[in-house]
Amino acid sequence: MTVASDFAEPSEPFRIGMLFNDKRYRSYTLQVITIFVFMLVVGWLVDNVIDNFRELGKEFSISFLWQPASYDINQTLIDYTSRSPHWRAALVGILNTLLIAVLGCIAATILGVIIGVLRLSKNWLVAKLMTVYIESLRNVPVLLWILLASTAFSAILPSPRQAPTLLGGGFVPTNRGFYIPSLVWNEGSLPLAFLFIASLIGAWLFGRWARARQLATGEILPVFWIRLAIIIVPTLLLFFVLGRPIGLSLPELKGFNFQGGLFIRNSFMALWLALSLYTAAFIAENVRAGIQAISKGQTEAAYSLGLPPNRTTNLVILPQALRIIIPPLISQYLNLTKNSSLAIAVGYMDVTGTLGGITLNQTGKEMECILLLMLFYLAISLLISAVMNVYNNSVSLQER
């Protein structure tokens, strides 16, 4: 060992040329150069924008957000008037966008799973009908479906005076919009709401406990019915004990229009329906691909153990298929959220219609409005991806 160390060659001193010739440093050198060039390009673009703004006599500022908006919005989830500032108008648009995104993702997921499973049905007619639906929806631009739904609601549905009252007067479709019952919150409704939220948490905890018990003992409990009872029974009992603190306001025809209840505009319904049906076609294909990726031996093994088809699907096929379905499902949620920016085509005031539309035109702050709009869509897309990735990790295979 001593002889070997005596004759060992000394380490080569560092030279500038080694940044490119030595593989130990080459990758770092290329990355530093790439970052430097990127920063130069970005700096040039920013400097060019500042010079152009200076020539036009403009100043980059978001102070316009605190100026009065001076325009009305036809659907608001929070208090808003034309005297409200632009930032509140943008907030109204953001909430309208999130409403469409959340409801659209829920409806598209339910429809997509059902349609994807039905396309694999052994019934020839059902499978072919689902195939026609999928191919028809996803091969036509979503904007055309939005416009078609809006036109159909306006042209086919009757006027308020001629509209039928369905479901005992609780649902009225008209060419102006849809009327449904609305909740009336009376004294004592707050404890009832807290109990309902607590029941939802309790049902979720019971589901986790039942799953852990099933993995430990193999015993399957009627989880669905027990969770349903946890949610409904305590809330229903307190509802009657407090003397029915929550009531319903039904729509009633008064004059040329309906009064009372909750009014849902045709623009909202057209956008929600078109986005849900369109995205459901893509989700259905993801579901079909995920199910077909599972080996048929899994199904045959489940049948040999005596599991019926529905239990085989719920316990064997779908849990494994979820690991394949979820990654492309994230992309569909993102697409639906971004496609909601087409709402302006039917007059639905989302954030593109408020911040990126009227506010931009009134203030002339096109650069600021577009950047804020891009920042919002970037933030909501990253949030959706983060939440779905957490769920994806929770259903992925765990190493033992």
Give 8's pLDDT tier (boundaries 50, 70, 90): very low
User: Which DSSP string do the residues of 121-142 spell out, in sequence order?
Assistant: -S-HHHHHHHHHHHHHHHTS-H
Cβ pair 385, 375 in contact under 8 A? no
What digits encode the pLDDT tens for the residues 142-194?
999 999 999 988 888 888 888 877 777 778 888 888 888 888 888 878 888 89
Q: What is the DSSP letter of 289?
A: H
Euclidean distance between CA atoms 343 and 357, whole angstroms: 11
- Of residues 243 and 95, the one with the higher pLDDT is 95
Average pLDDT, the chain: 85
Q: Collapsing DSSP states into helix, strand and coil, what is residue 348?
A: coil
State residue 255's pLDDT score.
73
Give the C-alpha distances (Å, rounded to integers) separating 112 from 19, 58, 247, 288, 293.
Answer: 54, 49, 34, 10, 17
In this model, does residue 6 exceed pLDDT 70? no
Ranges 10-24, 37-51, 119-133, 294-308: which has the least confidence: 10-24
Cβ pair 145, 279 in contact under 8 A? no
Give residue for tokens 């302006």: 344
How much of the chain, in percent, has pLDDT values that exceed 90?
32
Give the count of beta carbons closer than 10 Å to the beta carbon of residue 90.
21
Main-chain dihedrals φ then ψ at residue 269, nearest 5 degrees = -65, -40
Task: Please provide the CATH number assigned to the domain covering 86-181+250-395.
Answer: 1.10.3720.10
85 forms beta bridges with: 68
State residue 162's pLDDT score.
81
169 by Cβ neighbours in 10 Å (0-12 / 13-18 / 19+) ranks as middle
Give residue for tokens 């294909």: 285
For the residues 332-359, what does the mean pLDDT come to? Answer: 91
Total residues found in the chain within this entry? 400
Euclidean distance between CA atoms 224 and 222, whole angstroms: 6
State residue 396's pLDDT score.
67
Give 377's pLDDT tier (boundaries 50, 70, 90): very high
Q: What share of the chain is helix, strand, coil (3-state, %, to 5)?
A: 70, 5, 25
In this model, does residue 45 exceed pLDDT 80? yes
Element (H, E) at 100: helix 86-119
| Helices and strands, number each (H, E), in the chain | 15, 7
Euclidean distance between CA atoms 368 and 379, whole angstroms: 16
Give residue for tokens 């509140």: 88
For the residues 68-94, what does the mean pLDDT come to? Answer: 90
Cβ pair 316, 298 in contact under 8 A? yes
For the residues 367-378, what does the mean pLDDT come to? Answer: 90
Give the C-alpha distances (Å, rounded to integers) separating 380 from 87, 102, 180, 277.
Answer: 18, 11, 30, 22
In this model, does residue 116 exceed pLDDT 50? yes
- Of residues 141 and 364, the one with the higher pLDDT is 141
Ranges 16-20, 193-197, 308-312, 354-358: which has the least confidence: 16-20
What digits encode the pLDDT tens for the residues 270-300?
999 999 999 999 999 999 988 888 888 888 8
Ranges 6-10, 59-63, 78-82, 95-99: which has the least confidence: 6-10
For the residues 112-123, what does the mean pLDDT come to? Answer: 89
Each domain of the chain, given as residue ranges in start order, spans: 19-52, 86-181+250-395, 182-249
Cβ pair 369, 89 in contact under 8 A? no
Task: Copy the structure tokens of residue 175.
Answer: 């060419």
Euclidean distance between CA atoms 85 and 36, whole angstroms: 41
